[in-house]
């Protein structure tokens, strides 16, 4: 029996090769792997001795040879195949142990050149893996070092590798090569600055962990991460305390973090079930925390809290008395961390680059039955707006309008956000019509904070008003300014009502549906 070994990841390969050698398996190898095995006393044969042809083109051509691929692809119980091998004096290769050039590691290096990246695109490796996987019933193919032990155990116990294991290894090969090719395609797309949606879309992610369950206990779940640095992403956060993050924790926390990234000043966001329930900005992080907490002391129970500045001891003392699922911040004062760790179940995470936003061309993906829908993320920043009413907003109103506009971007549609003094004081998420969302936001404001706090507040709507009824409700509640996209055929009716009531209104020309 013969084994062809060519690996960039050399973890465990020496021990594995020695065990094969003890079992009488002849080792064939290439390049750096051959050198490593020889240094460790393994009687490996260099690939050029097998092929009778030297490695050439700076190692670009090593294993692309009939003596390699015929030896791998020949079906052992096919008499014609075996007779051809005999005539051509080609031996079978029974084990292929290959993992590929470190393309991922190369492109993740700072300032890597395109040429370096291209030189780390493996050609012979994927070809051998695919050949061996295609002939899985006769060839044991290994691309993952974690599978060495499984193969050795079966060889020692049964003197062969089971067909079930070979089939499993075949699957891993095609997962591995698909991942590898998808990385290359993504790199080239980025190099070309190609923002178009391709006719064939292949995405690749790496598993971070299996999860206990999904949204509900009867659903399986796992967490995957994009390949790359993923700066500012929850997948790069360091967990300092608490239980494993659940599917719902991750989904909700991600939404809170994306809203948090909209703000440059000290800000705290509280989130529940994917919707913000309290947002506060201030000149210091403690005041921002108080605003976020006081915005909705009910919904924050069992919620998520994220901060774009260090959590202080003063904040931690107050957090400790609230049931929170997850807390995320760029850092924690030592005493603050000790206080939060006293609650063993609260998940405390550190995300150093918490302000880092996703690239503007990142994909937002939703799975549907039989396919998926893909769009770029909603990364647009409001750079311009139109004042459409007779009364212009005051500087204070404008500040609060822009604050509320950032929030409503992350409220499920139909969504309304009411703000005052850089605090969310009422949020109406996910209603089937806009007037219900408006009424809900106003009612929550009065119920959760104060009957009169709505006076002088501002209202943001994620999409246009189809009728002027929302303006009527805003006026009755004491709201003095409204920010919305505009674009309804009845816009003038809403403008006329605002003028009648002395409400200032801005059109952004930009919608923020979030379904």
Tens digit of pLDDT per residue, the chain (515 long)? 899 999 989 999 999 999 999 999 999 988 888 889 999 889 888 888 888 787 777 777 777 788 888 999 999 999 999 998 899 999 999 999 998 888 888 888 888 899 998 988 888 889 999 999 999 999 999 999 999 999 999 999 999 999 999 999 999 999 999 999 998 998 888 888 888 888 888 888 989 999 999 999 999 999 999 887 788 899 999 999 999 999 999 999 999 999 999 999 999 999 999 899 999 999 999 999 999 999 999 999 999 999 999 999 999 999 999 999 999 999 999 999 999 999 999 999 999 999 998 888 788 889 898 998 988 888 888 889 999 999 999 999 999 999 999 999 999 999 999 999 999 999 999 899 999 999 999 998 888 788 889 999 999 999 999 999 999 999 999 999 999 999 999 999 999 999 999 999 999 999 999 88
The active-site residue, picked from 10, 38, 81, 134, is: 134
Do 157 and 18 share a domain, yes or no?
yes
Do 153 and 261 share a domain, yes or no?
no
Residue 469 in any domain: the answer is: yes
- Point out which residues pair with 46 in neighbouring strands: 29
Residue 200 in any domain: the answer is: no
Closest CA to 204 of 184, 226, 185: 226
Do 344 and 408 share a domain, yes or no?
no
Do 186 and 247 share a domain, yes or no?
no
Residue 338 in any domain: the answer is: yes
Instruction: Please state, in angstroms and rounded to a whole number, the distance separating the CA atoms of residues 21 and 42.
Output: 8
**Residue whose token pair is 């409001």:** 382
Do 41 and 156 share a domain, yes or no?
yes
For β-strands 416-420 and 423-428, DSSP reports them as antiparallel
Do 61 and 128 share a domain, yes or no?
yes
Residue 326 in any domain: the answer is: yes
List alpha helices for 296-383, DSSP H.
Answer: 313-320, 334-341
Residue 219 in any domain: the answer is: no
134 catalytically annotated? yes
Do 346 and 396 share a domain, yes or no?
no
What tokens appear for 21 in the block? Answer: 């050698």
The active-site residue, picked from 81, 273, 297, 475, is: 273
Contact (Cβ atoms closer than 8 angstroms) between residue 395 and residue 407: no
Instruction: Please state, in angstroms and rounded to a whole number, the distance separating the CA atoms of residues 171 and 154.
Output: 18
- pTM for the whole structure: 0.85
515 catalytically annotated? no
Q: Exposed e or buried b for every residue in 38-52, given b needs 16+ CB within 10 A?
A: eeeebebebbeebbe
Task: Tell me how many degrees the CA angle 356-304-332 measures, rounded to the nearest 5.
Answer: 60
In this structure, what CATH number is given to the domain that contains residue 434? 3.40.140.20
In Å, the largest CA–CA distance within the chain is 97
Instruction: Please state, in angstroms and rounded to a whole number, the distance separating the CA atoms of residues 72 and 79.
Output: 15
In this structure, what CATH number is given to the domain that contains residue 145? 3.40.50.1380
The structural domain count of the chain equals 3
Do 120 and 260 share a domain, yes or no?
no
Domain boundary among 330, 350, 370: 350
Instruction: Please state, in angstroms and rounded to a whole number, the distance separating the CA atoms of residues 33 and 14.
Output: 9
Domain boundary among 290, 325, 350: 350
Do 128 and 273 share a domain, yes or no?
no
Do 185 and 240 share a domain, yes or no?
no
Do 275 and 146 share a domain, yes or no?
no
For β-strands 2-6 and 95-98, DSSP reports them as parallel
3-state SS assignment for residue 349: strand
Instruction: Please report the pLDDT score of residue 61 as a whole number.
Output: 77
H-helix or E-strand containing 293? helix 285-295
Closest CA to 404 of 279, 284, 505: 279
Can you give 142-196 as a three-state secondary structure string?
ECCHHHHHHHHHHHHHHCCCCHHHHHHHHHHHHHHHHHHHHHHHHHHHHHCCCCC
Domain that holds residue 466: 386-507
Domain boundary among 350, 366, 396: 350
Do 242 and 186 share a domain, yes or no?
no
Instruction: Please state, in angstroms and rounded to a whole number, the distance separating the CA atoms of residues 210 and 348.
Output: 20
Instruction: Please report the pLDDT score of residue 123 as a whole number.
Output: 86
Instruction: Please report the pLDDT score of residue 67 as a whole number.
Output: 86
């Amino acid at each position: 029996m013969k084994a062809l070994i060519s690996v960039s990841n050399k973890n465990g390969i020496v021990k594995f090769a020695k065990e094969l050698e003890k079992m009488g398996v002849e080792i064939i190898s290439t390049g750096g792997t051959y050198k490593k095995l020889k240094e460790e006393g393994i009687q490996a044969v260099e690939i050029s001795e097998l092929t009778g042809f030297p490695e050439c083109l700076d190692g670009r051509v090593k294993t692309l040879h009939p003596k390699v691929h015929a030896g791998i692809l020949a079906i052992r119980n096919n008499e014609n195949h075996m007779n051809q091998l005999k005539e051509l004096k080609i031996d079978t290769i029974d084990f292929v142990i290959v993992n590929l050039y470190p393309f991922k590691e190369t492109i993740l290096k700072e300032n890597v050149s395109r040429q370096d990246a291209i030189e780390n695109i493996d050609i012979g490796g994927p070809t051998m893996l695919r050949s061996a996987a295609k002939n899985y019933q006769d060839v044991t193919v290994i691309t993952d070092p974690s599978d060495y032990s499984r193969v050795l155990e079966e060889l020692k116990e049964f003197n062969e590798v089971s067909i079930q294991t070979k089939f499993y290894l075949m699957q891993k090969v095609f997962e591995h090569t698909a991942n590898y090719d998808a990385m290359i395609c993504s790199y080239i797309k980025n190099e070309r600055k190609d923002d178009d949606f391709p006719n064939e879309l292949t995405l690749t992610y790496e598993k971070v962990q299996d999860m206990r369950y999904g949204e509900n206990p009867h659903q399986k779940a796992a967490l995957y991460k994009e390949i790359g640095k993923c700066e500012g992403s929850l997948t790069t956060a360091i967990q300092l305390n608490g239980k494993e993050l659940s599917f719902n924790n991750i989904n909700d926390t991600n939404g809170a973090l994306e809203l948090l990234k909209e703000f440059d000043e000290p800000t705290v966001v509280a989130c529940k079930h994917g919707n913000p329930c309290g947002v506060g900005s201030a000149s210091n992080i403690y005041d921002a925390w108080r605003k976020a907490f006081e915005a909705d002391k009910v919904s924050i129970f069992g919620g998520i809290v994220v901060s774009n500045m260090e959590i202080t001891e003063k904040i931690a003392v107050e957090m400790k008395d609230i049931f929170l699922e997850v807390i995320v911040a760029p850092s924690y004062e030592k005493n603050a961390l000790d206080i939060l760790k006293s609650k063993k179940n609260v998940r405390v995470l550190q995300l150093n680059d918490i302000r880092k936003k996703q690239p503007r061309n990142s994909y937002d993906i939703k799975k549907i039955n039989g396919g998926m829908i893909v769009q770029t993320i909603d990364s647009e920043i409001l750079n311009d707006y139109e004042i459409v009413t007779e009364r212009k907003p005051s500087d204070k109103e404008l500040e609060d309008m822009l604050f509320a506009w950032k929030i409503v971007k992350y409220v499920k549609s139909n969504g309304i956000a009411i703000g005052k003094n850089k605090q969310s004081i009422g949020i109406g998420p996910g209603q089937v019509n806009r007037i219900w969302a408006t009424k809900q936001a106003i009612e929550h404001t009065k119920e959760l904070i104060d009957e009169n706090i709505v006076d002088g507040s501002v209202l943001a709507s994620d999409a246009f008003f189809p009728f002027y009824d929302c303006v009527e409700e805003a006026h009755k509640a004491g709201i003095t300014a409204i920010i919305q996209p505009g674009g309804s055929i009845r816009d003038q009716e809403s403008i006329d009502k605002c003028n009648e009531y002395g409400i200032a209104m801005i059109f952004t020309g930009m919608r923020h549906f979030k379904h």
